[in-house]
Structures are given as structure tokens and as C-alpha cells.
């Protein structure tokens, strides 16, 4: 893993507009800050190596090393990533305004109740912007349910929590955030307080996010100055983003929305949070259900215990649904790899890459049939 410093991070990610505001570089030191969901560098730091660079998922992300760390094996290249099981799931005995089946909320609540996690980092909303926060009770978890499609600085909150001594965090994280959390766990600079930043990572599927400030402005524009209290991206072919507030519902064409997607999302290869313990997404045509991918032992234990406790109901997905998901994930990854290659950011021989992976695997991914 090539680790450089903040100057390179700034040049490669922030200056190039590839930052997705995940917050992995924020709160480690006084130089990187997040404000209204945007990451900025206040002053230059001249260190040659830093955690900021090491943690950022948009620069020098070595898929093999991260995979070895999380899954004990190099990056497989499978469309859905290394996993044990693909299930359909929904929350049981829990009510809230979930995005879909409430699986994420149910697992987080269960982890808190059983002590599998000491605290959870969830993302609510404030002033129309995603608002990551630490939750220690089921109520707090539920108050943050539902997807905010704005890219959120979840990891800034994680870093802050770690700095103030919180351990055993469960984090609901998008794929880029899950990758960053894995890099944090690898602890390349040997910092004591980063040994195990998160004990549990619940991944969220993600095709792309929207620049949070732009999304807030878009919602305000369409909802006469109000913030959206619920948003949804119905599956294709409906090319719309649904924004709702106080009984009002507007549909914004995706053509308008796609312009607001950070460039960083376009070279992000991961749709299903391959480095999480479990990953959760929506299911086309089954509104009350989630797709649940169980990946690690920890993830399997959590899911098993949640089912046993009657907090989660699962069933097998239909073969065609699973295949469809794989195709979607492979498609996103192929597009990202192609873009990265085109821009010289994949396995860059001299200089810095955005992505690194065994070249044969890279070739395979690039030539996969859609």
C-alpha cells in the first residue's frame, strides 16, 4: 500500500473533484475539516505520510490488500464481492420510516442491545443536509432511518467518536466508507487509537450519491424552501428521484440529478459494499424487503443472532433477482475501472493510482460482458 501525505491527497482527490466527502481524512488533525458535508483543507500540512492519505478511499485504494485484511484473501473479482450468502431480509417487530425493509436499523438496534456494538454511527438529517451522528439507543437509531442520497461525512463522526474514546462502533456505511473503514482498521501508521475503529460495518448498496449541498438546494428549489423528509430512487425504468415533505411529493428527473453526482462516484467500483460485514440494499419489486449480503463471520453471527432473537426475517431470493443484482454490480465496477484506466488512475505504474488490484483481475473486470 503506497502511503503519502496530505499534499498528494489534496492534489489527487480534492483538487480533482474526486472527493466524495466521506470524512475519513477529517478529525484526525486540524487540517482537514468538514462543513455542510463538504471536506476542505484549512492549511497545508507538509508531512510525507499521513493517515489522511492512508484512509482516503479515492486514492491508492489497494483492493487486494484491503480484501486480504477483511476477507483473508486477495480481491476475487466476483461481481458481489467475497460473501457467504445472499438473502432477502426485513425487520421484525420494529417500526420506523425505513427506506425499505428496515434491515439496517434492525441490525444496528440488535447490535446495540446485545452489546455487539457499544455505539452506532447513523446518518440523520439537519437543515436539509445529511447529519451523521452517534446513536446509543434504538430510538436514536430509528430517528436516522431512511436514505439520504447526499454524500455524507460519516467517517468524520467516526473519527471524532474514536478521538473521544468511544470504541466498538457499528457503522452504517456506503461502499466507499466501508473501504475507508477497512483501511483505517489496517492501521498502516500504527496509531493505537485506530487499532479497531469499527467493530461492525453495515454496508449500504450505492450506485452513486449526490453532492449533499447541491441536493439540499435542489430539494429547497422543488419544495418551496423546505427540506425533503424522505427521498427515494425507484428502480429503473423510472428515471426519477422522489422528494417528499409534509405530504408533498415531487419527482425530479434523473437527468437533472445526475449532474450533481460527484466525479468521485464515477470511478467508484463498489456497488455492494464489498468490505463491509454485511451489505444491505433495496429489492426491485419488493418494497418491504432488503437484499442482505452476508460477508464476514462477524456479519454472519450478527444476522444469525438477530434472526434467533426474532428481530429479522429472511428468505432466499429468486435466482433471477440475484443474477440481476450481480449484473448491476458488475456494470458499475466495469464502468469505474474503465474510467479509472482512461484517466491513468488504475494500477498506475509511475505515480499515484486511485485503484490498485492484480492486473489480471483488472483485465477480467474490464472485459466482462454486460
Partner 1 sequence: MSIAKHPAGERRLYMGNEAIARGALEAGVSVAAGYPGTPSSEIIETLAKAAKDADIYVEWSTNEKVAMEVAAAASFAGLRSLCIMKQNGVNVASDFLLHLAGSGTRGGMVLVPCDDPGALSSVNEGESRHFAKMVEVPLLEPADFQEAKDLTKWAFTLSEELRSLVFVRSVTRLSHASGTVVPGEIPAPRRDAKFTYNGFILDPMEGPVMSAPVTFKHGQQQEKLKRAEEIFEDSPFNTYAGPDNPELLVIATSACWLYAREALRMLNAEGKAGLLKLATTWPLPRKLVKKHLAAAGKVLVLEEVLPFTEENVKVLAQEAADEIGHKPILGKRDGHVPMTGELNPDLAADAVAKALGAQVPEVDPDYKTKAGQYAFFGAPNRDLTFCPGCPHRASFWSIHNTLAADGREGFVCGDIGCYSMAVLPSGFSTLKTLHSMGSGTGLASGFGKLGPFGLNQPVMSVCGDSTFFHAALPALVNAVHHQSDITMAVLDNSGTGMTGFQSHPGLPTDALGNEVPAIDIEAVCRSLGAEVRVTDPFDLEKTQQTLHELLETKKGVKVLILRQACALSPQRKGKKDFDMEVDAALCRGEDCGCNRLCTRIFRCPGLVWDATAGRARIDEVICAGCGVCASICPAGAIIKKPVSAQAA
Q: Which positions lie near partner 1, rule CB under 8 A?
A: 28-31, 33-36, 38-43, 45-47, 49-52, 189, 191
Residues near ligand SF4, by CB under 6 A: 5-6, 9, 13-14, 19-25, 28-29, 31, 39, 45, 47, 50-52, 55-58, 151, 174-176, 206, 208-209, 264-265, 268, 270
Which residue's CB is nearer to ligand FAD, number 6 or number 102?
102
Place of cell 466527502: 21
Candidates 52, 184, 280, 336; binder of ligand FAD (CB under 6 A) is 280
We find the least distance from the C-beta atom of residue 78 to ligand FAD, in angstroms, to be 18
Give bridge partners of residue 119 from the DSSP assignment: 169
Site mask for ligand FAD (CB under 6 A), range 70-109, x = bound: ----------------------------xxxxxxxx----
d(CA 272, CA 87): 13
DSSP string, 84-118: SEEEEEEESS--S--SSS-HHHHHHHHHHHHTS-S
Please pick, from the candidates 116, 206, 228, 336, the single residue that binds ligand FAD as defined by CB under 6 A.
Answer: 206
- Among ligand SF4, ligand FAD, partner 1, none, what does residue 23 contact (CB within 5–8 Å per kind)? ligand SF4
Cell 432466499, residue located: 316
Rg over alpha carbons for the chain, rounded to the nearest Å, is: 19
Does the protein bind ligand FAD through residue 37 (CB under 6 A)? no
- The CA distance from 143 to 156, in Å, is 20
Q: Furthest-apart CA pair in the chain: how many Å?
A: 55
Residue 88's binding partner among ligand SF4, ligand FAD, partner 1, none (Cβ under 5 to 8 angstroms by kind) is: none
Cβ atoms within 10 Å of 88's Cβ, excluding its own: 21
Closest to ligand FAD by CB, 52 vs 121, is 121
Binding mask 236-275 for ligand FAD (x = CB under 6 A): ----------------------------------------
Rounded least distance, CB 150 to ligand FAD, Å: 6
Q: From the CB of 196, what's the least distance to ligand SF4, in Å? A: 19
Could you tell me which residues come within 8 angstroms of residue 195 by beta carbon, excluding any fewer than 6 positions away?
Answer: 185, 187
Q: Please provide residue 280's backbone torsions phi and psi, each rounded to the nearest 5 degrees.
A: -130, 135
User: CB neighbours of 185 closer than 8 A, spacing ≥ 6?
Assistant: 69, 70, 194, 195, 196, 197, 198
| Binding partner of 154, given ligand SF4, ligand FAD, partner 1, none, CB within 5-8 angstroms per partner class | ligand FAD
Whose cell is 466525479? That residue is: 263
Q: 241, 254 in Cβ contact below 8 A?
A: yes
Window 120 to 149, contacts with ligand FAD (CB under 6 A): 122-123, 130, 144-149
> Can you tell me the distance from the alpha carbon of 364 to that of 359, in angstroms, rounded to the nearest whole number?
9
Q: Does 20 bind ligand FAD (CB under 6 A)?
A: no
Q: Cα separation of 252 and 243, whole Å? A: 8
Q: Which residues bind ligand FAD (CB under 6 A)?
A: 98-105, 122-123, 130, 144-150, 152, 154, 172, 174, 204-207, 209, 280-282, 290
Amino acid at each position: 500500500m503506497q502511503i503519502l501525505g496530505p499534499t498528494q491527497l489534496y492534489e489527487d482527490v480534492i483538487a480533482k473533484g474526486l472527493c466524495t466527502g466521506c470524512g475519513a481524512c477529517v478529525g484526525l488533525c486540524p487540517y482537514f475539516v468538514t462543513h455542510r458535508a463538504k471536506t476542505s483543507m484549512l492549511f497545508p500540512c507538509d508531512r510525507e505520510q499521513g493517515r489522511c492519505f492512508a484512509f482516503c478511499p479515492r486514492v491508492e485504494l489497494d483492493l487486494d490488500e484491503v480484501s486480504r485484511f477483511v476477507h483473508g484473501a486477495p480481491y476475487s473479482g466476483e461481481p458481489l464481492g467475497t460473501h457467504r450468502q445472499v438473502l432477502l431480509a426485513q425487520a421484525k417487530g420494529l417500526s420506523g420510516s425505513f427506506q425499505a425493509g428496515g434491515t439496517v436499523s434492525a441490525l444496528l438496534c440488535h447490535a446495540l442491545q446485545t452489546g455487539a456494538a457499544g455505539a452506532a454511527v447513523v446518518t440523520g438529517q439537519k437543515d436539509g443536509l445529511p447529519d451523521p451522528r452517534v446513536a446509543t439507543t434504538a430510538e436514536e437509531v430509528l430517528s436516522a432511518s431512511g436514505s439520504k442520497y447526499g454524500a455524507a461525512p460519516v467517517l468524520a463522526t467516526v473519527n471524532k467518536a474514536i478521538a473521544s474514546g468511544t470504541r466498538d462502533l457499528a457503522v452504517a456505511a456506503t461502499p466507499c466508507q466501508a473501504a475507508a473503514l477497512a483501511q483505517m482498521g489496517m492501521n498502516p501508521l500504527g496509531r493505537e487509537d485506530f487499532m479497531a475503529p469499527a467493530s461492525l460495518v453495515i454496508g449500504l448498496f450505492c450506485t452513486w450519491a449526490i453532492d449533499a449541498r447541491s441536493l439540499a438546494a435542489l430539494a429547497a428549489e422543488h419544495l418551496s424552501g423546505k427540506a425533503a423528509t424522505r427521498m427515494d430512487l425507484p428502480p429503473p425504468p423510472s428515471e426519477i428521484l422522489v422528494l417528499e415533505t409534509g405530504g408533498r411529493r415531487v419527482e425530479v428527473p434523473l437527468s437533472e440529478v445526475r449532474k450533481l453526482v460527484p466525479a468521485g462516484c464515477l470511478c467508484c467500483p463498489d456497488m455492494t459494499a464489498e468490505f463491509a460485514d454485511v451489505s444491505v440494499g433495496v429489492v426491485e419489486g419488493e418494497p418491504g424487503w432488503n437484499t442482505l449480503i452476508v460477508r464476514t463471520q462477524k456479519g454472519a453471527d450478527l444476522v444469525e443472532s438477530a434472526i434467533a432473537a426474532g428481530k429479522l426475517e429472511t428468505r432466499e431470493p429468486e435466482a433471477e433477482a440475484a443474477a440481476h443484482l450481480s449484473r448491476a454490480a458488475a456494470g458499475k465496477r466495469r464502468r469505474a475501472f474503465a474510467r479509472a484506466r482512461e484517466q491513468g488512475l488504475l494500477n498506475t505504474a509511475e505515480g499515484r493510482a486511485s485503484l490498485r488490484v492484480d492486473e489480471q483481475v483488472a483485465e477480467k473486470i474490464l472485459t466482462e460482458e454486460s
